[in-house]
Amino acid sequence: MIITEAAAESAVPAVPGDAGATGAPEREQLKDAAIRALVQRIHQLQAERAQAFRRLEEGHRQYLSSGPPYDFPRYRSTVHEVTQAFAAASREVLAVEAELAGPRAQPLLASHVRRLQQLEETRLATVALLQLMGTPELTGQDNLQMHQLKMKVIKTMEAISEVLQDLRFDAESAE
């Protein structure tokens, strides 16, 4: 699927409502890191998110090919594991954003990280909706809507790539 291939090039999502989970351990590790290291960490987290999206896509593909009867418990387990990976990445991204916005006094870089997080939230929600629409019970539904959602994922991933480029460029200027 296009989404999986493009995911390898791009990044991964946030967990809505998880902002309060930003913990002190992540912040402690960030205190002494250079801005360049913080930006590198964001890129590493994006790579982890891309890997999580690939696992989610593969789990969905396996689910669809498992039936009938479909192996929903296995798919649910995959979704749970991927959700945990997304949540962990999101907590750390939010910790980096807080570090950039606060102690580092880098509001431009913090705004890039915040935008990245928002785009990843959009991407995850859209991919989840696409997978739901692709389930056997809903197959044959509105193909136009499916196409529009796929295009939304692609455009969101393009925006994520742009934000990552802006983040890298502006971080180099900040040092």
The domain locations on the chain are: 35-173
- Asked whether the predicted pLDDT for residue 41 surpasses 60, the reply is yes
pLDDT at 14: 37
- Give the pTM: 0.79
Sign of CA dihedral 44, 48, 54, 56: negative
The Cα–Cα gap between 43 and 39 comes to 6
- Asked whether the predicted pLDDT for residue 4 surpasses 80, the reply is no
Would you say 93 and 45 are in contact if contact means Cβ atoms under 8 Å apart? yes
Q: Name the residue among 104, 147, 113, 117 with its Cα closest to residue 129.
A: 147
Report how far apart, in Å, the C-alpha atoms of 153 and of each of 5, 10, 20, 106 are. 12, 11, 26, 29
pLDDT at 19: 38
